[in-house]
Structure 1
Amino acid sequence: MKLESIAAQIRHTLCDVSSKTKTPHLGSCLSCTDILTALYFGVMNIEPKTPELPERDYFLLGKGHAASALYTVLAYRGYFPVEDLYQHGQTGSQFEEHPGIHAPPGVETASGSLGHALSLATGMALSSQLQNKTNRFFVLMGDGEINEGTVWEAAMFAAGKKLSNLVAIVDFNKLQGTGESCNIMHLEPLEDKWRAFGWHTIRLDGHDINALQSALSNTDNINKPICIVADTVKGKGVSFMENDNNWHYRIPTADEVLLAKEELGVS
């Protein structure tokens, strides 16, 4: 199956799970679906049946409020049944609204408090580098998340240590919980900022799965950490959700899920 079709199915499941479990942050999940699909289905060295494979690549979710997107991609990749997703946010469930310490297989770290994933990944990447291991570390951050100073401390550290096994991806959907990202903090020109901090930086369409795969796969012979600035659309794939920041918290009705399914072309 083409990755675009897998991404469409994942988007529909995200809408359905949100509606049935009453869990929010759907817009944030839809904006990063293509990024996660490219990583888990086309780039990362992983083994769903052996989640703790020592030589695996690691994925760290910075924007922990998009946990549903990560859970859903992991389910479609074979880590656990898709039906388990309907436990999301329910009392006692391992599928918490933000990944916790009892998260399901494939989730590497707890997240939710923004700004920590890149710092964690730099330590992990440095440890791997010192031991001459082949693991790679991928971090997904939101554009609102990079308001946090810890992100830029980690960026300086990673560049100073030449962590070529580290890839940061910014889901640049231009919106955060309280408004437009660039009106809240002075982000642009974002790729120039990362480049000035010593990172090999690429800016691309965050919904072009082929471009994402190419950029995320061709990391050899780059003797520095890599940052992908991915221009995305919050609520991508469902016309009445796109660029509408109400979907940071809104829950779709059953009828809206059916409309989304039709737009996504999911059978």
Structure 2
Amino acid sequence: MDVQALKQKATELRKATCKMIYASKTGHTGSDLSCTDILVALYYGVMHQTAATFTDPNRDRYIQSKGHAVEILWNVLADRGYFPKSDLKTYSQFNSPYIGHPNNHVNGIEMNTGSLGHGLALSVGVAKAAKMDGRSYHTYTLMGDGEQAEGSVWEAAMAASNFKLDNLTAIIDHNGLQISGKTVDVMNSEPLKAKYEAFGWHVIEIPGNDMQAIVTALETKPVAGKPTLILADTTKGCGVKFAENKAEWHHKVPTAEQYQAALDTFNQELKEGAK
């Protein structure tokens, strides 16, 4: 897909995700909308993995450390054909595998995640395995900025540099908010760029809801011997004005009026993008 098509796809998936959250009456709305563009760039533009190649040992790997933003991931995987879209009607219902965090009983999920601070360490192990096995696949992981307060993140960051994992790209959804407020107030982990560079990473900072910037960063050739961090400055609740930059929308379901307003916004964007 070209960048315009990727933008259209991101809008379609924001709309589908909001529909699922509204129907199920649960979900991390703000967190999902924040990272939608990143997942679209990965799954439709950059990552060498499809539903047909998910069991191929040479496929690229994706581990979503920011597991609470699973609603957008479920919609991406369904749209890419990993499982039928109709399955998502059971989201968060009793005995459904489509639960509130990634579940590796579902096709397309590498590992269970959701306990924040684990995803980077898991990804370091997967990337190290590729080096040991002589495989060429690349490993991607998406973290939230709130989880940067976890000590395991920094142990993993140190290990990634130590093992020269230039086949690893970590992305931080850097929206500045977490469930209990601003990250700088809850537990200030800034300056993230300088810290990761001090840990031996190659860092690229981008506007994280700019599709062209995301694709360019993901397609940038790795620096030999260094893992890559993409520090994506995003907007929590991106695309829905009443939810943007508000911590309360970390986990919140829209009212009927808010839901209709969101649909109107997405429909207008899709109409304009189709011109």
Aligned partner of 2:142 among 136, 140, 143: 140
Aligned partners of 2:69 and 2:251: how far apart in 1?
A: 11
Q: Could you tell me how far 1:219 is from its partner in structure 2?
A: 2.6
Partner of 2:245: 243
- Retained in 1: the 8 A contact 2:206–2:233? yes
When residues 107 and 101 of structure 1 are mapped into structure 2, their CA distance, relative to the original with a 3 A threshold, is: closer
Structure 2 spans left out of the alignment, 5+ residues: none
TM-score of the aligned structures, taking structure 2 as reference length: 0.93
**Runs of 4 or more off by more than 3 Å in structure 1?**
none
- Whole-Å Cα distance in 2 between the matches of residues 70 and 100 of structure 1? 11
Q: 1:123 — aligned with what?
A: 125
Q: Which of 16, 27, 30 in structure 1 is aligned with 2:30?
A: 27
* Separation of aligned partners in 1, 2:13 and 2:136: 30
- In 2, Cα distance between equivalents of 1:143 and 1:217: 22
How far is 1:257 from its partner? 2.0
Give the secondary-structure state (helix, strand or coil) at the position aligned to 1:32: helix
Give the aligned partner of residue 73 of structure 1: 76
Shift of 1:176: 0.4
**Structure 1 residue 94: Cα displacement:** 0.9
User: Counterpart of 2:253 in 1: which secondary structure?
Assistant: coil
Q: What is the CA-CA distance between 1:130 and the residue it aligns to?
A: 1.4
Q: Decide which of 104, 107, 116 is 1:105's aligned counterpart.
A: 107
Residues 1:192 and 2:189 aligned together = no
Instruction: Tell me the alpha carbon deviations over residues 127-157 of structure 1, each in whole angstroms, 9 at most, x when there is no partner.
Output: 1111210111001000011110000000000
Q: Percent identity?
A: 45
Q: CA shift at 1:101, angstroms? A: 4.1
Cα 1:176–1:31 shift into 2, 3 Å: same
Q: Aligned-pair RMSD on alpha carbons? A: 1.3
1:85 deviation in Å?
A: 1.9
Provide, for residues 11-69 of structure 1, a one-character-per-residue CA deviation record: whole Å limited to 9, x for no partner: 01111100101122110010000000000011100121232121110000111111111
User: Aligned partners of 2:134, 2:13: CA distance in 1, in Å?
Assistant: 36
- Structure 2 CA distance, aligned partners of 1:185 and 1:253? 31
Counterpart check, 1:114 vs 2:119: no
CA distance in 2, matches of 1:86, 1:146: 33
> Residues of 2 paired with 1:148 and 1:15: CA distance?
29
Q: Deviations over 1:59-90 (max 9, x none)?
A: 00111111111111111222122222222111
Aligned residues: 266
1:4 equivalent in alignment to 2:3: no
Match of 2:43 in 1: 40
TM-score (norm 1): 0.96
Q: Does 1:87 align with 2:90?
A: yes
